[in-house]
Each structure stands twice: as C-alpha cells, then as structure tokens.
C-alpha cells in the first residue's frame, strides 16, 4: 500500500513509461446477491445502493443512489440493516444552494438563518470506496520507488474509472464539476477529484484500518478546513 500519495507540483509526475494499469476482471451478478461462493476470488463488489432499476432517473427517484465499491461483507451489512432503505430526512424548506464563490469555484451557501442543530440538508453520496492506494504487481523490476508510486496512482485511477463508468449521467456531471487540487502530482482526473473531495464514511468499516470514504455533490463542497463547525450524521438505513 502507498503510505502517502504525492501532492503539489511533482516533477516527472504521470504514468511511467513501460507501465500499463491492470484491467479489472468483472463478473455481473444480480443486485441482491450477498452470498459469494468464492469470496477470495470476488473480494470486492461494486453495488448500487439502494438498488434501482436500470434506466431509473432522478425524477423517478429523487433521493438518488450511491455506487459503492466495498467488500461482500459490507454489502451484506448494508442489506441486512433493519428498515433499509428508508427515504432521506429533509428539512421543511430548502436551506442551502450551490453558487459561485467570491474566492473561486463553487460553494454551498445558506439561504435562511440557521440555528444550532438545524438539519441543513441530506443527500446520498455519489460514490463510496476505499481511499487506499495499493502498489500494483505488474511494474517492471527496474522501476524506482518514485515510478512505483506513480504507477500506483495510475492503478487507483483505473479502479475509480470502474465505479465512475456506472454513474448516472447527472452524477457524472456533478462529480466532474467538483474541485481538483491534484492536477500536477500524478493523479488522474478522477483520482484528483476523489482525493480533493472525499471524506470518511464512519458507518461501515472492514476494520479500524479499512474505513471507506465518499464523494458527495453538495457535502463535498464545504470548505474542508471548516468541517469542525458542522456535524455530519451518517445513517445506515437510508
């Protein structure tokens, strides 16, 4: 695993010559599948939660849905949650909107006066997956440590591509509209946005070291340095 990914302006960043990321072997199974006969062979599942019919639109399902890349154990935990899935809790009136910030980029702004404890908004993540970046196994023997680290970023980009390719068109647009602070360190466009905007999802963890993170359309636009001034309340039954 890559202990700390490069950031900032990195000289020589990008896919190293002689390296091509591994392609992921994918097997399609029914959405409700939780019993994987050979979990060692299928140690990761990409699942839409809550599960929706193919071709469903946001107009038909306004609470939307999340593409998750998780272990089979986490998928079982999600689907075994009592009452899952429930509709999202929503405030009685719209209390925020996305608009251009005077400091650059888009931000989330309050549209009404807020009191401590007010529910501002709720939304489902665009995607949820592990933030871990693993060293690929197929790099040439002569690669330097730097080249191996850059190769690992390329492989992570490939992983996110697998999830991104499943997103509904509007979710793709929302994801690509998020800020990217990792354009010059070897991160691809999807990974750069992911590294800039993802934050921890505390509901589901394979163990203490294997937490998941999510990227949201609105929640990811909050100034990360001010995250202490609000309370995130993740729920497992929605």
Q: What is the pLDDT of residues 219-237, one digit of tens each?
A: 998 765 545 455 555 565 5
Phi-psi region of 112 (alpha: psi -120 to 50; beta: other; left: phi over 0): beta
Residue 96 falls inside a structural domain: no
Write out the residue range of the structural domain in which residue 52 sits.
Answer: 1-88+123-215
Give domain status of residue 11, yes or no.
yes
Do residues 232 and 74 lie in contact, with contact meaning Cβ atoms separated by under 8 Å?
Answer: no
94 is a domain residue: no
Identify whether 2 is part of a domain.
yes
Identify whether 195 is part of a domain: yes
Number of separate domains in the chain: 1
Q: For 123, phi and psi rounded to 5 degrees?
A: -155, 160
Residue 117 has pLDDT above 50, yes or no: yes
- Give the pLDDT band of residue 3 (cuts 50, 70, 90): confident
Position 16 scores a pLDDT of 96
CB atoms closer than 10 angstroms to residue 32? 9
Report the percentage of the chain scoring pLDDT > 90. Answer: 57
Residue labelled with tokens 């994918």: 26
CA atoms within 13 A on the CB side of 230: 18
The alpha carbon of residue 189 and the mean position of all alpha carbons in its chain are separated, in whole angstroms, by: 13
Sign of torsion over alpha carbons 174, 180, 183, 188: negative
Q: Check if the beta carbon of residue 72 is closer than 8 Å to that of residue 38.
A: no
Look at the pTM and tell me if it is higher than 0.75.
Answer: yes
In a domain, 227, yes or no: no
Angle (CA) 198 71 154, round 5°? 50
Give the rounded distance of the alpha carbon of 183 from its chain centre. 18
Rounded to a whole number, what is the largest CA-CA distance in the chain? 61
């Amino acid at each position: 695993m890559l202990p700390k990914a490069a950031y900032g302006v990195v000289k020589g960043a990008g896919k190293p010559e002689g390296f091509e990321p591994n392609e992921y072997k994918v097997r399609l199974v029914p959405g409700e599948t939780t019993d994987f006969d050979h979990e060692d062979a299928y140690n990761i599942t990409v699942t839409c939660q809550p599960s929706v019919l193919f071709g469903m639109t946001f107009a038909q399902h306004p609470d939307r849905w999340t593409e998750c890349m998780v272990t089979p154990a986490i998928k079982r935990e999600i689907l075994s949650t009592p009452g899952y899935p429930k509709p999202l809790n929503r405030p009685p009136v719209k209390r925020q909107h996305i608009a251009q910030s005077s400091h650059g980029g888009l931000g989330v702004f309050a549209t009404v006066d807020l009191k401590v404890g007010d529910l501002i908004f709720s939304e489902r993540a665009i995607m949820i997956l592990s933030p871990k970046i693993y060293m690929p196994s197929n790099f040439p023997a002569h690669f330097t440590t730097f080249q191996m680290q850059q190769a690992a970023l390329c492989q992570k980009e490939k992983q996110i591509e697998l999830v991104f390719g499943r997103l509904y068109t509007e979710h793709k647009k929302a994801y690509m509209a998020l800020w990217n602070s990792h354009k010059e360190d070897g991160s691809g466009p999807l990974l750069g946005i992911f590294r800039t905007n993802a934050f921890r999802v505390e509901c589901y963890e394979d163990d203490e070291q294997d937490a998941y993170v999510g990227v949201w359309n609105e929640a990811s636009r909050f100034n990360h340095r001010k995250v202490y001034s609000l309370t995130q309340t993740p729920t497992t039954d929605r």
